[in-house]
Amino acid sequence: MKTFLKKVAAQSPWLYRINAGSCNGCDVELATTACISRYDVERLGCKYCGSPKHADIVLITGPMTTRVKEKVLRLYAEIPDPKVTVAVGICPISCGVFRDSYAIEGPIDKYFPVDINVPGCPPRPQAIIEGIAEAISVWRTRL
Amino acid sequence: MFSFLKILVRNLIQGPSTDPFPFGETFTPEGLRGRVRFDASACVGCRMCEHVCAGGAIRFEQSESELRFTLWHNSCTFCGLCQHYCKTKAIVLTEDWHLSHRQEEKYAMVEQGTVPLAPCLGCGISMIPVADELMRVAYRETNQDIDRLRRLCPDCRRKLGIKGVQRCKM
């Protein structure tokens, strides 16, 4: 039963999106990759889910502002292992243009392990799909 | 009334509009701003790119013998200001957008280049050599006199200029 589940789960990693104080640019691109049939991330077996408890791949945008820090950490702790973390945009990777601000607590790899980085401001949908495809290959090794 | 039939037939002929990437080739629009390329031989060390960089991705380090340029793609917003302000075209944004990488390579996503300093022919102080590209931008044609000025530091150039004026007066 367990091996069967593993085999099935490898085909359909579920995505969960955390906005850690993003300007919404990367979130729009993430919505584009999911909702617009030209890009269609569901071809890879992915599906956005509403609850962190169902997530396999976590997509994080935003530079982790002081205001959302506690909430992001709580959400991240709720995601069951094994999980793969993808940082989308330059903000979660290095805080980008917001670096050294008093209201920024990032970059996010200070708080939890990141596996894939997708730089860009925002990255184009194809770049996000490339990152997600790599995240899926990482996730299959962790199952 | 039957306009949907037209759409139906068109869709049947055209096939799916989904981009085949990552299983096939995708398109790259012309003028897309992607990975940055730095050409050290064209850099004049004005540091304008460092000044205008929105994400603070560009850094210059000067040592005794060289000027080192570093650009970190993980902090770059790909706004293209550096390319706009680089008159000698030492910085060019390519159309390569394949930038996603593993966490291990996070700090390896850099573009680096070193401009070696050369001694001034007049006083021997080390200075950034004048790039060929700058000569092309500043003077349409060069001659022997201009070429001699090129190997002098600003101070020596000024001295030579003042001497030239005196000669004219006499």
What are the tens digits of pLDDT across the range A117-138? 999 999 999 999 999 999 999 9
Ranges of each domain in chain A? 18-142
Sign of CA dihedral A58, A107, B70, B103: negative
Instruction: Determine the residue of chain A that is closest to B22 in CA distance.
Output: A130
Q: Do B97 and A40 touch (CB under 8 A)?
A: no
Residue B168's pLDDT is what?
A: 52
Provide the CATH topology of domain A18-142.
Rossmann fold (3.40.50)
- CA angle (A57 as vertex; A53, A63 as ends), nearest 5: 100
Q: Does B41 touch chain A (CB under 8 A)?
A: no
**Cα separations (Å) of A34 from A28, B90, B164?**
10, 38, 70
* Residues of chain A found within 8 Å of residue B81, distances taken between Cβ atoms: none
- Is the pLDDT at A59 greater than 90? The verdict is yes
Predicted complex ipTM: 0.87
Min distance A99 CA to chain B CA atoms (Å): 8
Mutate to test the interface with B, among A88, A97, A104 (most CBs of B within 10 A): A97
- Strands (DSSP E) contained in B42-109 are 58-62, 66-72, 91-93, 101-102
Looking at residue B167, its pLDDT comes to 54
Tokens of B19: 């981009």
Q: Identify the closest residue of chain A to B77 by CA–CA distance.
A: A121
Q: Residue B170's pLDDT is what? A: 46
Give every CB contact of residue B16 below 8 A, 6+ residues apart in sequence: none
Kind of pairing between the strands at B91-93 and B36-38? antiparallel
- Select the residue from A26, A90, A111 to test the B interface by mutation, using most B Cβ atoms within 10 A: A90
The pLDDT tens digits of the residues spanning A90-103 come to 999 999 899 889 99
Interchain CB distance below 8 Å, A121 and B79: yes
Whether chain A has a CB inside 8 Å of the CB on B102: the answer is: yes
Question: B-chain residues within 8 Å CB-CB of A116?
Answer: 100-103
Please choose, from the candidates A55, A115, A124, the residue with its C-alpha nearest in 3D space to the C-alpha of residue A89.
A124
d(C-alpha B118, C-alpha B161), whole Å: 21
User: Can you give the pLDDT of all 170 residues of chain B as single tens digits?
Assistant: 688 899 889 888 987 888 888 888 888 889 899 999 999 999 998 999 999 998 899 999 999 889 999 999 999 999 999 999 999 999 999 999 999 999 999 999 999 999 999 898 888 888 988 888 888 888 888 788 788 788 888 888 888 878 765 555 54
Query: Which residues of A are less than 8 Å from B94 in CB distance?
Result: none
Nearest CA in chain B to A133: B22
Q: Does A28 touch chain B (CB under 8 A)?
A: no
Q: Is B85 exposed, middle or buried (0-12, 13-18, 19+ CB in 10 A)?
A: middle
CB pairs under 8 A between A and B: 93
Strands (E), chain B: 36-38, 58-62, 66-72, 91-93, 101-102, 110-116, 118-119, 126-127
Distance from C-alpha of A90 to C-alpha of A114, rounded to nearest angstrom: 13
Residue B77 CA to residue B70 CA, distance in Å, equals 15
Nearest CB to B103; choose among A90, A97, A109: A109
Give CA–CA dist A118/A108, Å, rounded. 13
Contact residues on chain B for A138, CB-CB shorter than 8 A: 102
What is the pLDDT at residue B11?
A: 85
Domains of chain B as residue ranges with CATH? 31-96+105-116 (3.30.70.3270), 118-162 (no CATH)
Q: Are B40 and B90 in contact (CB under 8 A)?
A: yes
